[in-house]
A and B are shown apart, each in its own frame.
Chain A
C-alpha cells in the first residue's frame, strides 16, 4: 500500500486530483503516489469482493431464505407460500416424533466422551517416545480422511449378519456375543455411535496431540528431576495444558451429537429407532414435503448450537494456560 493522503488535503480535492492523475498516463509514476491513494485504499476491498460475494451468495442468502421459509407452509414446490408465523416452531417442539430424535443424540453425545478418552489416551502415549510413532499417528488419523458415506458402506458390510465382525467373533470363539448389530433396536444406536467414534476419534487425537506437543519440553525435564512418573506428568502437566482444547472438543461433541447425519443415514436411513435430528429434517423437507417445517427444524438446530457455544464460552473462558 502507499501513503495515505495527508490530513490537510480536502478529501474531494484529493479524489479529483487522483482521478486526473490516473487519466493522464504520461505523468511519472512517482508523482501519482499521493494522488492515487484514494483508489489504493480501495484495493483490499476489491480483493474481498469475490470471497465476500461468494459467501453472501452461497451462505447468507440461503440462510436468510431458510429463515423466511421457516415462517411459511411451503411444500418445496408451490408457487405461493402462505405465512404461518411461528406455527412451524411450535410443531418442532410439540410433535413427539420430533422430540424423540433428541433422545437418539444422547447416544452420540455419550459416545463422544469415550471418543475423547480414547483420543486423549493415544495422544498422550504417542507424545512420548514410542516406537513407530508416525505410523501409529497415521493409522489413528486415517479414518477421518475417509468420506462419511464410504465409512457407512464399509460398516454396513462389516456389521451385517455373517459380515466381518461376526466372522471375527466366530474365529475367536465368541459366538455368544454375536448380535444383529443394526437390526436389534437395543443395539443399533450403540453400533452407529461406535462407527461415529471410529470415524472422528482421529480428529480429536490430532487436536490433542498438537496441544500436547506444544508443551515446553523443559517442563517434563523439570518434573522428571522432581521424580514425577508418567501419570503425574499426565495429570499435572498435560491435562491442565490442553484444557482449552478439551473444552473445544466438548462443544464439537455436543453440536456433533445433534447434527449426526451421514453414518446413520447411509447405514439405516434412520429406520429402527436410529433417526437423528438431521435425518428427520431431511425427511420432513423431501419426503413429507414440508419445507417450511424442515426449515424451522434447521433454524432450531442452528440456535441450539449457537447457545451451546455461548454457554461454553461462559463456562470455560478462553484463558491463557500458565503452568508456572
Chain B
C-alpha cells in the first residue's frame, strides 16, 4: 500500500497524464517522422501517402507500388499508404493540423490563394509545365503546387449495343440530337432509362461539369463567366448542360424515381444495358467495363462519346487532370515525397491502368481512348488571369449556388419532374444568384 501522499500524487499524475495524452493525440504533428532525407536529397526514410483510391489500397495495388518504389530507392524504409473513404472531408479537417501525410491529393475546396499555406511549391509553373500538363489548376502566382496523376477527357459513357439496337450509330452532335437519341432508345424499349442521373449519390451530377468548355470550345469560358451576370443562357456552357438535364428529365428520359438511384448498381445496369447512358468522365470506363464483365455482359459494349456539341464541325473535349498530388508544407521528408510524385507519374503505370491520359506531355494514350482522341479535339482550359485565381470559387460560394456541389442540379431535377419551375425560371434564378454573388465579392 502506498503512503497517502504518494497515492494522491500518483492520482494527480494519472489525471494529468491522461489529459496530456489526449491533447497530444489531438495535436501530434509530424513529430513521429523525424527521419529526414539524406542531405544530398536522395530519397530515404519514411513517408505517408494519403489517397482517395481505397479500392486500390484494399486490392493490394498500392502494396505493389510501394514495393517497386522501395526497389528503386533502397534507402526508403517505408511508405505508409492511408486510404480515406470520405477523402475531401477528412483531409480538409486534418489540414487544420500539421498531420496530413507527406504526399496527398489536393482537395478541391482549397482555393488557389490558399495553396501556399498548405503545400510545398514544386517549382515554377514554367518548369513543371515543361514536363507535365494540366498543372494550371493548382498553380498560384507562377508557382506550381500539384501535379495530376491522370488526365481525363469528358463526354459520356454509353452502352454501344443498346445505342446501336435503337439505330443510333453516330455520335449525336447537338443537344437536340442527343435527346432524340435518348428518345429512340426509350422507344426501342430500355429496361430502366436511356439516361441515368445517379441523383441520389449526387456527385455524378457534378460530372456534367466536364462538358463546360466543350460546349463553346472556348478554353477561356471560366474566365469569362466571372465577368458575366448571366452564365445561364440558351447556348452558354452552363445553359446547355443544365438545360439538357432539365429537358431529359422533363421528357421522362431518365429513371422514374431519381431519389433511389445507386452508384454501385448503376455500373451493372449500364453493363447489362438496362441503362443506356451516363454522363461521367473517361475515368469511369474501366470501372463500367469491369462491372459489365462481372454481371455477365460484355465489357466491349462500354464505349465513350464526346459532348454532343460541334463547334466549327468538330467535337471538343476538355482534357484535365484528375486529383493533383502535392506535398505537405510541414513534411519532414520532402525529397522522398517529391520522388514519390515523380515516380508515380513516370513509372507506376497508374494512368494507363485507369484508362486515362498520362499527365506527362506526349505521354502514352490508353487503348480505350485512342479512337476518341483521334476524332475529338482536346482543349485545355486557360488559367485564370493573375489576381483572379480565386475569383470563380469566391463568387461560387458567395452566390450560394455552389456549382461544384450537386445540390443545385438536384433542385433543378426536382423542378423538372414536378414542373415547379420552367427551364427559363431556373436560368433566371441561377443568374440572379450569380449576379448577387459577383456583386458581394467585388
Q: Does B407 contact A (CB under 8 A)?
A: yes
* Identity of the chain B residue whose Cβ is nearest the Cβ of A78 in the assembled complex: B114
Contacts of B110 in A (CB 8 A): 77
Contact between B259 and A268 (Cβ–Cβ < 8 Å)?
A: yes
Q: Does A43 contact B (CB under 8 A)?
A: yes
29 A–B contacts from the bound complex (CB under 8 Å): A23-B5, A25-B3, A36-B4, A40-B4, A46-B8, A47-B11, A49-B11, A54-B22, A57-B23, A76-B92, A77-B114, A77-B118, A79-B117, A97-B400, A160-B260, A180-B256, A182-B259, A268-B200, A269-B202, A271-B200, A271-B202, A271-B410, A283-B405, A287-B405, A288-B400, A288-B402, A289-B109, A289-B397, A290-B397
Q: Interface residues of B toward A: which range?
A: 35 or more
Write the nearest CB–CB distance from A103 to chain B, whole angstroms. 15
Contact between A46 and B15 (Cβ–Cβ < 8 Å)?
A: yes
Considering residues B3, B18, B258, B259, which has the most beta carbons from chain A within 10 angstroms of its beta carbon?
A: B259
Q: Which of B386-419 contact A (CB under 8 A)?
A: 397, 400, 402, 405, 407, 410-411, 414, 417-418
Q: Does A242 contact B (CB under 8 A)?
A: no
Contact between B95 and A49 (Cβ–Cβ < 8 Å)?
A: no
Contacts of B118 in A (CB 8 A): 77
* Identity of the chain B residue whose Cβ is nearest the Cβ of A290 in the assembled complex: B397
Contact between B259 and A39 (Cβ–Cβ < 8 Å)?
A: no
The 4 closest A-B pairs by CB, nearest first: A183-B257, A22-B5, A49-B15, A160-B260
Q: Does A86 contact B (CB under 8 A)?
A: no
Contact of A46 among B11, B23, B109, B407 (CB under 8 A): B11
Contact between B259 and A272 (Cβ–Cβ < 8 Å)?
A: yes
A182-B260 in contact given A23-B5, A25-B3 (Cβ < 8 Å): yes
Task: Digitize B95-135: 1 where CB-to-A-CB distance is under 8 Å, 0 elsewhere.
Answer: 11000000000000111001001100000000000000000
In the complex, what distance in Å separates the CA atom of A272 from the CA atom of B414?
6
In the complex, what distance in Å separates the CA atom of A77 from the CA atom of B405?
18
Write the nearest CB–CB distance from A56 to chain B, whole angstroms. 9
* Identity of the chain B residue whose Cβ is nearest the Cβ of A29 in the assembled complex: B4
Q: Dominant SS at the B interface?
A: helix
In the complex, what distance in Å separates the CA atom of A265 from the CA atom of B274?
28
A287-B22 in contact given A39-B5, A76-B92, A160-B260 (Cβ < 8 Å): no
Write the nearest CB–CB distance from A25 to chain B, whole angstroms. 5
* Identity of the chain A residue whose Cβ is nearest the Cβ of B23 in the assembled complex: A57
In the complex, what distance in Å separates the CA atom of A185 from the CA atom of B256?
13
* Identity of the chain B residue whose Cβ is nearest the Cβ of A182 in the assembled complex: B259
* Identity of the chain A residue whose Cβ is nearest the Cβ of B199 in the assembled complex: A271
Q: Does B56 contact A (CB under 8 A)?
A: no
Contacts of B200 in A (CB 8 A): 268-269, 271
Q: Does A50 contact B (CB under 8 A)?
A: yes
* Identity of the chain B residue whose Cβ is nearest the Cβ of A43 in the assembled complex: B8
Q: Which of A112-131 contact B (CB under 8 A)?
A: none
Contacts of B93 in A (CB 8 A): 76
Contacts of B260 in A (CB 8 A): 156, 159-161, 182-183
Contacts of A46 in B (CB 8 A): 8, 11-12, 15
* Identity of the chain B residue whose Cβ is nearest the Cβ of A163 in the assembled complex: B260
Task: Digitize A36-67: 1 where CB-to-B-CB distance is under 8 Å, 0 elsewhere.
Answer: 10011011001101100110010000000000
Write the nearest CB–CB distance from A58 to chain B, whole angstroms. 8
Contact of A53 among B4, B15, B114, B259 (CB under 8 A): B15
A183-B256 in contact given A77-B109, A272-B414 (Cβ < 8 Å): yes
* Identity of the chain A residue whose Cβ is nearest the Cβ of B393 in the assembled complex: A289
Q: Which of A169-220 contact B (CB under 8 A)?
A: 180, 182-183, 185, 188
Contact between A271 and B259 (Cβ–Cβ < 8 Å)?
A: yes
Contacts of A79 in B (CB 8 A): 114, 117
Contacts of A159 in B (CB 8 A): 260
Contact of A273 among B3, B89, B402, B414 (CB under 8 A): B414
Q: Does B361 contact A (CB under 8 A)?
A: no
Contact between A39 and B199 (Cβ–Cβ < 8 Å)?
A: no
Task: Digitize B253-274: 1 where CB-to-A-CB distance is under 8 Å, 0 elsewhere.
Answer: 0001111100000000000000
Contacts of B411 in A (CB 8 A): 271
* Identity of the chain B residue whose Cβ is nearest the Cβ of A271 in the assembled complex: B410
Q: Does B19 contact A (CB under 8 A)?
A: yes
Contacts of B12 in A (CB 8 A): 46, 49
Contact of A22 among B3, B95, B202, B256 (CB under 8 A): B3
Contact between B410 and A185 (Cβ–Cβ < 8 Å)?
A: no
In the complex, what distance in Å separates the CA atom of A182 from the CA atom of B261?
11
Write the nearest CB–CB distance from B209 to chain A, whole angstroms. 15
Write the nearest CB–CB distance from A57 to chain B, whole angstroms. 6
Contacts of B4 in A (CB 8 A): 22, 32, 36, 39-40
In the complex, what distance in Å separates the CA atom of A79 from the CA atom of B258?
40
